[in-house]
Each structure stands twice: as C-alpha cells, then as structure tokens.
C-alpha cells in the first residue's frame, strides 16, 4: 500500500500542469492568446526589488549583517554589444 501511495505522489509531481502551451504559429485568431503567453509577468521583474549596490565593501558588510548571500554580477563592456 505504501508503494502505491509513493507512486501516486510521484505521478502527481510529474503530471502536466494546467498552463497552456504556446501555439505553433501566430494567427489573428490566436493573437491574444499568444500575447498573454509571452507578455512579461509581475514575477519577471522581481530583480527590480533587490537592493543592488555599486559599492562592493558596503554590499559585503550589509549581506554579512543580514546573514544573506551575496550575488556578484560582473559584466565587462556594453551589455547591448556582441549580440
């Protein structure tokens, strides 16, 4: 009986979600559906709520005081170049 419960739980973990898949092509009939599928959601902009710092020693100090991890993001050059 335990193995059945485990298999059921495992199957539910991998069951397809109710999210709709993107259509194969864009038409006037499915335009709104595609638009809502590809439009940015609120959670896509969560990075804007992060308190980013340009001063590394200050960021290290604040992360240490708050007992939080530190993300060091380095990029050299123009982010729009080399695309």
Tell me the per-residue pLDDT of 6-23, one tens digit each, with 9 for 90 and over: 445 545 555 555 466 767
pLDDT band at 47 (very low <50, low <70, confident <90, very high): confident
Task: Give domain status of residue 9, yes or no.
Answer: no
pLDDT band at 1 (very low <50, low <70, confident <90, very high): very low
Task: Give domain status of residue 29, yes or no.
Answer: no
Mean pLDDT, residues 2-9 taken together: 52
Mean pLDDT, residues 59-76 taken together: 89
Tokens of 52: 């980013």
Domain count, the chain: 1
Mean pLDDT, residues 26-46 taken together: 89
Task: Give domain status of residue 17, yes or no.
Answer: no
CA distance 1 to 9: 13
- Write out the residue range of the structural domain in which residue 68 sits: 46-77
User: Is pLDDT above 80 for 80?
Assistant: no
Task: Give domain status of residue 58, yes or no.
Answer: yes
Task: Give domain status of residue 65, yes or no.
Answer: yes
Task: Give domain status of residue 68, yes or no.
Answer: yes
Mean pLDDT, residues 35-49 taken together: 89
Task: Give domain status of residue 32, yes or no.
Answer: no
How many alpha carbons lie under 13 Å from residue 57 in its C-beta half-sphere? 0
Task: Give domain status of residue 35, yes or no.
Answer: no
């Amino acid at each position: 009986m335990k193995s059945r419960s485990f298999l059921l739980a495992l199957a539910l973990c991998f069951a397809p979600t109710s999210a709709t898949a993107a259509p194969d092509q864009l038409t006037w009939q499915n335009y709104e559906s595609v638009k809502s599928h590809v439009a940015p959601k609120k959670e896509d902009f969560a990075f804007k709520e992060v308190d980013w710092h340009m001063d590394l020693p200050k960021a290290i100090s604040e992360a240490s005081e708050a007992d939080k991890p530190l993300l060091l993001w380095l990029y050299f050059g123009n982010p729009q170049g080399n695309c």
